[in-house]
Amino acid sequence: MLPTEASAAIESIERTHERVRTTIEGLTDDDVRAASRLPGWTRGHVLAHLAGFGAAAERQVLRALEGADPGEFYDGGRPGRDAAIEAGASAGAAEHVTRVEAAMDRMEGLLDLLDEDVLRRRTAFKDGLPVEAVVLAWWREFSIHLTDLDLGAEHTLWGPELREHLVAFLSPRVPDGTQLDLEPTDVDEPRRLGQGRVLRVRGAANDLVAWLAGREPIVPLVADNGGAVVDLPELGPWP
């Protein structure tokens, strides 16, 4: 039996892939050259990143299944990753769609082969995290970057399992000396992160998580310290 979080991720990944396919269907070259929601990146950059991450993640899962040495996650490490994104960003729409769809198809086939033993096997992801961490990273990358494309898919589609995972993953971004009390206004999912000066932040559940992920809430959040409205804190780097 797969661990609960991995099982939830795999089920959600399949739904996310369908949203990605629907979103990128019919893209034009002008579409991929347009700006994404990520500063300095076009949609082509986002799509190139998804294809490149996909290839790297698939290789790690495949090597784990084969019991082989994981090697490098990205060819050439982080510099190789960045260079590949820049080189691939200018591709035409058809090439981007083909590469991203092929990555999703291959991963879906690999996910069907995973069991508890394989999920525990070491990979090159973040210097030795297991296959399960690669699966969870795939869940995050495709779910979040789908919204970064700015093609109609919003973070309002994120379900409770993804919210729970993202909050846990992103909790290290809470500034030192701060306790964030996240109080959703639409669901009963209060969360407390960090320690120190208490800061309450209220808003829709998905807006709260999107903010933790460095994305713009659809409806502005409200933060207060002892009843006085204050600015949202500056979050730390991506974990």
Q: For residue 197, give the H/E element and its range.
A: strand 197-203
pTM score, whole prediction: 0.96
The CA-to-CA distance between both ends of the chain, in Å, stands at 28
Q: What b-and-e string marks burial along 138-176, b requiring 16 or more CB atoms within 10 Å of the CB?
A: bbbbbbbbbbbbebebebeebeebbbebbbebbeebbee
Chain segment 114-173, per-residue pLDDT in tens: 999 999 999 999 999 999 999 999 999 999 999 999 999 999 999 999 999 999 999 999
Residue type, 2: L
In order of their start, the domains of the chain are: 4-153 (1.20.120.450), 161-230 (3.30.1050)
> What is the predicted pLDDT for the residue at 177?
97
> What is the predicted pLDDT for the residue at 1?
61
